[in-house]
Each structure stands twice: as C-alpha cells, then as structure tokens.
Chains A and B, each alone.
Chain A
Amino acid sequence: MTIGLRGARLLREPLVHFIALGALVFALFGNATSADERRIVIDAARIERIAGQYAQNFRRAPSAVELDALIRDDVKEEVYYREALRLGLDRDDEVVRRRMRVKMEAFGDTAAEIAPPDDATLQRWLDAHPARFAGEASYAFDQRYLGTDGAAPQAGLDLLRAGKGFAGAAIPLPASFEAIGAGEAAVLFGDDFPAVLDRLPLGVWSGPVGSGLGQHLVRVRKRQPADPPGLAQIRQRVDNDWRAAMAQARGERAYRALLQRYDVVIEKPE
C-alpha cells in the first residue's frame, strides 16, 4: 500500500471528518460559548435517581464511595455527550441518527403503554374485528375406524344403522366425542376433518369418510355453531391485540403529524 493510498483512505474515514470539523467549530466558536453551556449541574434529584437505579440493580443503596464514582461517571457522560453534540455527531453518525429515530418511535409505544383501555374500547375493538376473535364450532360425534383402505364399510354401516355393535379397527382415539372444538378435531384427525363434520347429515351413521388417519364411519349427533365471544372471556386476548395495533397506529400517526411539517422532495436518478 502506498502512502498516498493510505492517506486517501484516511480522508474518507468519518471519524477524521468529525475531528476536523470539531477543530473548526472550536476555532470559530470556542470562545463564544456561553457560560451556561459550560456549566454542568448534578442536582439532588439527579443524584437520587442515580442512587435509585443502583439500588434497583443491587438491592442496596450505594456506599458513599460508590455514589461518588457513579456521579463522576455521570459527569463524564454529560461532558462527552455535550462535546459530541458540539462535534455534530448527532447529525453525521448513521447510528446516532437511527438510535434517535428509534427513540422518537418509542414515544408512540410508551403512550400506548400508559393508557389501559376500558371495556367500551375493547368491546368496540372486538366488534370491529369479529373474524379475529371468532369462536369455533363444536361437535358431538361417534366414529369407528376402518383402517386405511376402508374395506367392506357396508357391513359395519349396516350393523351400526341397525343399532348393533361394530367396533371397527383399533385406533388410540375415542369412539365418541361430546363437545370437541373444530381446532381440536383438526389436531386429532387432520386439517380437513372439521369440514367433513360440517357436511355430514345429523343423527345417522355415514361413511366411509376420510381423515388424515384413514377411513371412518361417522355419526354426527350435534353441531354447535361458534358462539359470538363475550369480551369477559377473552379480554386479555383482545387487550393484547388492541395494544399491538395501537402502538403501530400511534407510531404511524406521530410520524404523519411530523411529516406534515416537511416539504419532501424526492429526486430519483434519471
């Protein structure tokens, strides 16, 4: 590597720009800085906060020596912070910019956190998004398993329809369900099975019908449509959903409000 190349690379290094810029700023305005800008006050309230944070972490108050060290560190942080601002790091550093953006965005979230919704709000949310909180149908039904090929279903069907016993093939699943939800039926018999239960005539043995496990004879005794969910039963779920949506909407609103103050011009390359 030649010296010239290294020098050119150095000139592209952002930190070098900052230092150069800082030197320039200092040269131009160094003496003009007001006394207030050069004054750092760590007041009693701030010290209490520092001590409080320590106590929260370590379950005890800091000793006098520790507190002094914490204060010294706080002063150091303030000095660096102000110098960084003076150097314009808040403007030129990609990461600082992004961090500040995240902080601004977080305001929306925080506002959502501190306003717990009342029942009326949640009820409105529930009414506005019925599909999201829809309950599920439930069923009472009997089933007999025939294995994968469903061999000779008619004999079994005749026996069952005549009210006689027919055990079917062995399978580690109940022969009767009294109130099984559609989701649970899908878990046990495969994703398409609730649709089968919806389709079959009530009160008679039908089949063979297919499941993810093979062929069955099935008698649906009762179909209970989904109850409209009451807020009391699913309050936490509605609250979670509302909260997530509010955080997002607030963020979007906050951004729109700020955006309105700007004239944005986007000049795409030809």
Chain B
Amino acid sequence: MQGLGKWALAGCATIALTACGGGFGGAEQPKTDAAVELAEFPERVYWGDAHLHTSNSVDAFGFGVRLDPEQALRFARGEEVTSTLGIKARLARPLDWLVITDHSDALGGTKALAEAPRILIRDPVMKRWHDMLNAGPEQSLRATAELIDARARNDLPKGMTDDPETQNKRTRSIWNDHIATVERYNEPGKFTAMLGFEFTLMNGGRNLHRNVIFRDGGDKVKTVVPLGAWGASASTDSLWNYMDAYEKGTGGRVLAIPHNSNLSNGLMFEMTQPGGGAMTAAHARRRALREPLVEITQIKGDSEAHPFLSPNDEFAGYGVAGWELGDLAMAEGKQSSMFAGEYVREALKRGLAIEAKTGVNPYKFGVIGATDSHTALATGDEDNWFGKHTGNEPGATRALSAQNLGTRQGRFGWHYLASGYAGVWARGNSRAEIFDAMLRKEVYATTGPRMTVRVFGGWDFDPRDLDRNWVRKGYRRGVPMGGTLLASKQARGERPSFVISALKDPVGANLDRIQVVKGWIDRSGATREKVFDVVWSDPAKRSPVNGKVSAVGDTVDVAKASYANTIGAPQLATVWRDPEFDPAVKAFYYVRVLEIPTPTWVAFDALRYKLKLPPEVRVKAQERAYTSPIWYDPAA
C-alpha cells in the first residue's frame, strides 16, 4: 500500500541521509564538465526540472514567494529549506539537474515595485499595486493577478514598460547575481545547475511562452542579459535573432522550449507563418533548429492530446479540464478549431504536412515535462505537491478556490496538475551532456513519477534481442528516442521494429501498459494517427477486443488517498513491429506509458484537510510518460 506515509516533506529531516537519494557523496568531485567521467553510451536517466520560478519572477514574487534562486538550488539538490509560508521542505529524492527560468520581463520587477518609495510612483495603477503588494498575501496575490491580466491585454501602465534604463539596470544586476549563485551550485558529476530564463511571449492572452536554456557557464552567459518579451517588437524572430547573436558572439549554444501550447488558443503550432501567409522553408528550418523540444506536461495542464482531436484514444485528455476553456488569461474563450494548433500529437502531424509542402518539418521536436512551479520548489509528486505558487502552497482552501488568472471565472485549484519532470538520457551529469541530450531529443516527459523508459527504432530487432545487452544493440543497430529511421538503411521489405522497455518508479505505482502512438501522412496527403497497445500487464486476462486492451482496474481508495500495487506490472518490455507500415509515407512513432490509477494531490489534500469535494473534481488518474518520437523518412 502506498499512502500518506510517503509524504516526505514536513517530517523528512528525520530520514537518514543515505535514504534520501544521496544528495551528499564522499567521492571525489570533478570541478569541470570536462572532468566528468562519461559512459560509453547513455546508461542512466538524469531527472530534472527545466522550468522553475523564484522570487526574481515578476508574478512569483507577487504571488508571495520569497525564496530566491539559492534556496531553489538547495531544495532541488536535496537540502532542507523553509518555504515562504514557513513549512520545512525537503525533496525526498533530489533532482540531478535544474534550470531556474525566471521571467525575463521585469526581472525583479514586482519586488522593485513593492519596495519603491511610494511618493515616486506617479501612475495611479502602479501605486495601487504597490500598496496591495505590501498589504499582505491576499492583496499581493490579487495585485499580481491584475498585473498578469493587464499584461495579457497589453494594458500595463506605461511606467512599467517605458523605462528601459531602470529595467536594464535592474535586470543586469539581478542577472549577474543569479549567474554567480548558479555557478556556485553547479557541481559537475553530482548536480548540474544550468543557466536560463523564460521569454514570456504573449499575443493578447494567448500563451506563446518559451524557456531559454544555455549550454554554457557564466563566462559566456554573462555577456548577454535575458531578452524581454514585452512590447511590440517581441516575437519568435526576436528571440531567434537573440539566440543567433549569442552563439555567434560567444561560440556557445542555446536552445528554446515552448510551453503551455494548450493555452495558446491555436497559435503555438500554426500551419502558417506567425500572423498568416504560407509557412516558408526558412521559417520552418529556423523553428526546428532553435526549438528542438516542447514542454508537453506541467502544472498548467497537459498538452499531449485532446479528445476533440483524438476521439478514438480513450486516454487522450489527461489534464485538459479547466485549461481547455480559453487562453492563459481567459481573455478569449476556446473555439474547437483552435485545438489543432495547441496539442503536441497534432503538431507532430502538422509538421509532416508542412514538410510535404516546404521540404522542412518545423515541428520535429522532442518532449519534456517540467513543473513551472512558482514556489522555487520543484515538486512533481502527488503526495508532496507544493502548489503552483505561494498562494496555493499546502492549505485547506487551495483545491477548491478559483484560480483564474485575472478577474474572469472558470479555473479552480484542482485543475492544476502535480506535473511533471524531464528524464534525460545522457552519458554523464554535466551541462554539456544534459544540453546535448536535449539537442538530440534523447529525452522524455513524465507527469511526475520517475519511470525509466527506453525505445530504440531499427529495421532488424527481434524479441530475442531483449534477452541481453539490448541497450548496446539498440545504439548499434538502431536509433534512440529523438532519432530518425532512414529508408536507406532499410533491408528489403522490412518493417520498422522497436525495442521498448519501461520500468516503474521504484517508489511509485505499477504500470498498466505501453502504447505506441503513430502519426503519418497518407498517400492523399491527409494526416492520420493511431494508438497501438503493444505490451500490457496481466496479458492472460486482458486479450485485446477490437484492437483495444481492457482497463487495468482500479485499487484507489480515495478516502485514504491510497492505492495498492496488486494490479499492473513493475516492468514491461517488448519488441514491436509496425503492422501497417507503408514505406512510401512519412511517419513518427512515440511511446506512451500508463501507470495504474493513483490518487491525485487533491485526494491527498482532501484527506489531510478533511475536505468535501464536489463530484466533478479529479481525485484519481493514470499518470504517464511520453517519449520523444522516432521519425521515419522515406527520402532519407
């Protein structure tokens, strides 16, 4: 049985250090990336969060967080910190790496507004916010909601946007401090602290946010400051120009990861250029080069698949409730025609369609999960979830209170997901290795549980390959997740085969099944998709009916927020061959792994705070992992 006993935050100071996952080691520490001993090929997965906000973020500060980047780093690597509301917190299982991504716009801005001398604030709206930020948590939260709302409506007071000199001065000073802190905590081989920021691009209330992550250390990164996304000139082009200039100027590398496509109202994965017109090959090439990954799951919902787009997939629609109502700010409601530009599976299909027209696939990306936590605490498990922001750190009211951004209705605390993390297949734990794995898309997403998932695609794998050394064989005879199967390597008449393996989180739930999601463009040019169940637990009792495997069952006891691993399997593996392969058409394949049902963080809250939940509240779910795709290209 798994239950509250695993609540590993408040009382975990008593847990022996060795049992907490080894945040401290006595072995010799390499000082530089170059000194990290590398495996021959990626042998283990490195867990991390590529999206975390601290008190330097304009909204996080307003929402009340007072924990800075240093505290965020200490927490992620397994040390105890005290949360803003005074709860002692420690991550039972430390992360291997972390990227703090504070909003570039008004970096430290709310803090500055809160601390500014009142008499010098001339704008009445800013003065009001200043007062609210200083009038306790509730008022501070409201001021920040108003601020985000105003930002979404391009209606910020001029004083907050028209003073670039002060902004620049503040940004430079905070950025330098931030870099110095991250450098001090980066411990190659043990804990990788990477440099990055969030480019919070908006179109009205439509979310076009990107996280920007650097491969390099402070020596190169301090030659730039985070690029702002406020103002008329901000666009994906301005971001990509900035990235080009950084790489040219320093010889370093940088990548960008879009997130919350589910809140873009159709704009994240357009068929056209931004603003309309046929997408050009140049634009498509630039997008694919600059944005090799997408954040597929996080606190503000999951963007894998929507039931409207994938009506035959009974597992589509994980974590879309609430978020599907409109854009980030709820400034504009959702039309069903917008979904296609928002969900990752559809984007991968659109990529093939655009490639057919232009010769370049703009959406040839891999996927990661991340928290987007605004508490400086990178928590992704249902039983330790610290909330989206300080306003909903553990407490009796967070599950059922309205969480709409701005003043409009529709979203509630329980819509937030305790999601997710990124698994990175790298040869060692260093900035260079983690970054390069991201570039080659050898990464995957989970909604929180640390499942170990591998997939290799090739032309000649067979089930006996699973007997021994299959990882080595996978690299030698195939491509890992993120790779492309080349038609030129195809033996005559062969169909692509995939070695797939998933191992449960050792402290988590058993696995229900592994699925392969295939997308392709048929001979008429239309995009298609199909979900295959390829291996599942308890196969003797669960024969497929009409191509579908029955539900795994349900052991969740909602009242106790517990479940039992009496169903499902701790590990699943198979070699799967595409039964419907057409060598003439472009396709992609990604793996989805489903856990058995488990209680959500809301069920843990209901137990802890004795809540009475309305029936629509999501109290259990099948958590999951999504791998980056493997593509098949008949022309390559």
Q: A-side interface residues toward B, CB under 8 Å?
A: 18, 53-54, 56-58, 80, 84, 89, 93-96, 98-99, 102, 131-138, 147-148, 170-173, 181-184, 186-195, 211-214, 226-229, 233-234, 236-237, 239-240, 244
Contact = CB atoms under 8 A, between A and B. Distances in A.
A183 B25 contact: yes
10 contacts: A96-B117, A183-B18, A183-B22, A186-B19, A187-B506, A190-B507, A193-B506, A213-B570, A233-B28, A237-B187
Given A135-B26, A186-B22, 16 more contacts: A57-B168, A80-B120, A95-B118, A135-B27, A136-B26, A148-B570, A171-B571, A172-B452, A182-B19, A186-B20, A186-B93, A190-B506, A191-B93, A213-B570, A213-B571, A227-B27
A186 B24 CA distance: 13
Contacts of A234: 29
B506 A228 contact: no
Given A95-B115, A233-B29, A244-B70, A186 B503 contact: no
Nearest to B6: A191
Q: Which of B24, B25, B115 has the most CB of A within 10 A?
A: B25
Nearest to B167: A57
A19 B115 CA distance: 21
Contacts of A237: 24, 29, 187
A183 B21 CA distance: 4
Contacts of B18: 136-137, 182-183, 186, 194
Contact of B571 (A172, A190, A228, A240): A172
B477 interface: no
A-B residue pairs, 8 tightest by C-beta: A183-B22, A135-B26, A212-B506, A190-B506, A182-B18, A227-B26, A229-B26, A57-B168
A95 B573 contact: no
Contact of A57 (B25, B28, B169): B169
A189 B506 contact: yes
B170 to A, nearest CB: 10
A95 B467 CA distance: 68
B136 to A, nearest CB: 12
A135 B17 CA distance: 9
Contact of B92 (A148, A191, A227): A191
B466 interface: yes
B115 A187 contact: no
Interface of B: 17-29, 70, 74, 92-93, 114-120, 130, 134, 165, 168-169, 172, 184-185, 187, 450, 452, 454, 466-467, 471, 501, 503-508, 565, 569-571, 573
Given A172-B452, A192-B19, A214-B570, A181 B134 contact: no
Nearest to B504: A213
Contact of B503 (A18, A102, A148, A213): A213
Nearest to A175: B468
A102 B467 CA distance: 63
A89 B134 CA distance: 16
B29 A172 contact: no
Contact of A56 (B24, B116, B172): B172
Contact of B21 (A133, A186, A226): A186
Nearest to A93: B118
A66 B130 CA distance: 30
Nearest to B133: A95
Contacts of A18: 119
A22 B127 CA distance: 21
B70 A191 contact: no
B245 to A, nearest CB: 13
A23 B187 CA distance: 60
A211 B573 CA distance: 19
B310 to A, nearest CB: 29
B29 A195 contact: no
Nearest to B31: A236
A41 to B, nearest CB: 22
A53 B172 CA distance: 11
Contacts of B27: 135, 138, 181, 227, 233
A130 B118 CA distance: 48
Contacts of B23: 183
A89 B184 CA distance: 40
A230 to B, nearest CB: 8
A162 to B, nearest CB: 22
Contact of A226 (B26, B74, B185, B454): B26
Given A134-B17, A170-B466, A186-B19, A236 B184 contact: yes
A93 B454 CA distance: 60
A129 to B, nearest CB: 11
A191 B19 contact: yes
Contacts of B187: 236-237
A136 B117 contact: no
B117 A134 contact: no
A160 B400 CA distance: 56
Contacts of B118: 89, 93, 95-96
Most buried by A among B17, B120, B501: B17
Contacts of A96: 117-118
B22 A240 contact: no
Nearest to B571: A171
Contacts of A239: 184
B134 A95 contact: yes
A85 B134 CA distance: 21
Nearest to B70: A244
Contacts of B114: 95
